[in-house]
Amino acid sequence: MLDPFRNIGKELTDVIEKGHYFVIHSAKLSGKTTLLMELADKINAEGKYHALYCSLDCAQDFSEPEKSIPVIIKTIKYKMETFGLPSGFADNEDYKR
C-alpha cells in the first residue's frame, strides 16, 4: 500500500505543532481524503490533540446559513460521538432557530 503521507508527515505535524493552518489541494482521486483520515488517526493515537475528519458535503445543498449551520454542527457532533472524542462541542448553542 502506498504511504498516504508520502514523506510529508513530518512537515504536517510541524505545521500543526506551530498552530498554523494548512490546505490540501490536489487533483481528484489523488488521496486527499485518505491523507486527512490517516493524519487524524495518527494525531488521536498520539493523544496530545484531538483530530476529526468530517465531510460537510451534506450542507452544500443549502444556500442560507440558518439552514446549513445546524446541519454542519449536527454532523460534527455526530462524528465526534462516533469516534469517541470528548463531548461538549456546541452543547449550549441555540442553532435551532
Query: What is the pLDDT averaged over residues 64-86?
Result: 90
Integer-rounded Cα radius of gyration of the chain:
16
Contacts of 36 (CB under 8 A, 6+ apart): 24, 53
Distance between CA atoms of residues 62 and 71, nearest Å: 9
Closest CA to 79 of 54, 57, 56, 60: 54
First to last CA, the chain: 47
Distance between CA atoms of residues 22 and 52, nearest Å: 15
Contacts of 88 (CB under 8 A, 6+ apart): none
Residue 20: pLDDT band with limits 50, 70, 90: very high
Task: Give pLDDT, residue 89.
Answer: 87
Of all residues in the chain, the percent with pLDDT exceeding 90 is: 20
Is the confidence at residue 69, as pLDDT, over 60? Answer: yes
pTM metric for this prediction: 0.75
Residue 81: pLDDT band with limits 50, 70, 90: very high
